[in-house]
Amino acid sequence: MTQSNQQWQARREAAVTPGVGNSLQVYVQKALNAELWDVEGKRYIDFASGIAVVNTGHNHPKVIQAVAAQLECFTHPCFQVTPYGSYVELAEKLNALVPIKEATQTLLMSTGAEAVENAIKVARIATGRSAVIAFRGGFHGRTLLGMALTGKVQPYKKGYGPFPGGIFHAPYPSAYLGITETQSIAALEGIFAADVAPDDVAAIIIEPVQGEGGFYAAQASFLQKLRQLCEEHGIVLIADEIQSGFCRTGKTFAIEHSGVEPDIVTMAKSLAGGFPLSAVVGRKSLMERAQAGGLGGTYAGSPISIAAALAVIGLIDDEQLNNKAQQQGEWVVNYLHHLAEEFDCIGEIRGLGAMVAMELVAGRDRNKPAKELTQALVQEAGRQGLVLLSCGVRANVIRFLIPLTASKEIVSEGLNLLSSSLRVVQNMPPAK
């Protein structure tokens, strides 16, 4: 007997820790490309992509075909025991994809947090240093080191400390929030003067476009200054591309927009089209410093996920995903600008490719973030059949992560549902 969303929710509340949050109390039965159907048969348009995991859409036929073929061969011999060629093949392809000119090497893991932690490990063993600088508003995972690097307390860090030491945070440049790149660079220099000597810093880690932080994109000039600073002090520059990678911004990796070469790139999410896989790809001169056994994990580099990732990489060119991201971004941004003429709660619209955000405020006043309105919009959109995600350092940003394979008709339908939902919540009385 099929159970309702409400029945599943009651079972979930009894069996699953509330520490795992849910945006909607909707239980998915099936999915295809940019559409979902719940256990009650209701259809939804997916503007979340599993938090940027299925840039190639749910159940892409070529990804499913590759996984099915791998299932006929083997599922888990463990690469660290009896290796398999597909791991090497994927490493070769990732080495060629990253925007680093010199020779690179790859480590495969399972989650984004693991990728981040191992990137820090590589930076530390390669430099002999321990300190790391990250940015406010950045999100780098829910492990203890990932949380130490993450620059947002609620809801991620409160009550879970103490966190590993030697981590320092600088402000991330954001014109809308009044933080200039000059101020960010000055803050880094201030950290060197007051908190840690630059020759004790192993790495600076940055999201070229902040994900959870609100889709603020670092200007090319800022990333270039950061690159110069790292070269001056022998610091490893890590680009966290876990959310912004794999064509989301119209480039395979977001940092390519700046022309800056990182030393290490972390990736996960859309790397394997819905299967758990992450990677650390970095300069060979750094990666080869890790001793045998110092990196890895039992499930790291799952052959099932690798098969999916090889299919995804093939789709980048076959389906012109970077072009589709640019085109989709134009559709969404143009629509949102028209919407902003009607609704004064839309404070800013920003986007790089198909990584688009809408910041909600009261009366177009950037100093009045509309957190409650944002939460209400996510819920109302869900009721109307649209899956939305919120984010932001002030919890007032709607982020758009639509599968890049979605048709213009589906995108338009979803945007119309957004407009309808916004009309409803704009007229709601304020919460008491």
| Contact between residue 114 and residue 125 where contact means Cβ atoms under 8 Å apart | no
- Name the amino acid, one letter, at 423: R
Same domain flag for 13 and 125? no
pLDDT in tens, 304-330: 999 999 999 999 999 999 999 999 999
Select from 318, 342, 359 the last residue of a domain.
318
Average pLDDT over residues 139-143: 96
* Residue 431 within a domain: no
Q: Are strands 386-387 and 43-46 parallel, antiparallel or unpaired?
A: parallel
Q: Which residues of 224-258 are buried (b: 16+ CB within 10 A; e: fewer)?
A: ebbbebbeeeebbbbbbbbbbbbbbbbbbbbbbbb
* pTM as predicted: 0.96
Range of the domain at 368: 5-56+320-426
Residues 60-109: tens digit of each pLDDT: 999 999 999 999 999 999 999 999 999 999 999 999 999 999 999 999 99
The residue with tokens 């979605």 is: 406
Radius of gyration over alpha carbons of the chain, in Å?
Answer: 21
Question: Residue 3 is which amino acid?
Answer: Q
In a domain, 432, yes or no: no
pLDDT tier, 281 (very low <50, low <70, confident <90, very high otherwise): very high
pLDDT tens for 352-392 read 999 999 999 999 999 999 999 999 999 999 999 999 999 99
CA dihedral for 177, 182, 183, 184, sign (positive or negative): positive
Are the CB atoms for 205 and 132 separated by under 8 Å?
A: yes
Is 247 a domain residue? yes
Residues 268 and 352 in one domain: no
Please classify residue 41 by burial: count the beta carbons closer than 10 Å to its beta carbon, then call 0-12 exposed, 13-18 middle and 19+ buried.
Answer: exposed
Number of compact structural domains in the chain: 2
pLDDT at 427 over 90: no
For residue 324, what is the domain's CATH number? 3.90.1150.10
Per-residue pLDDT tens digits for 190-218: 999 999 999 999 999 999 999 999 999 99
- The rounded distance, in Å, linking the Cα atoms of 160 and 168 is 18
**Rounded distance, CA 350 to CA 399, Å?**
10
Last residue within a domain, chosen from 280, 295, 318: 318
pLDDT at 431: 52
Helix H segments across 288-364?
Answer: 303-318, 321-342
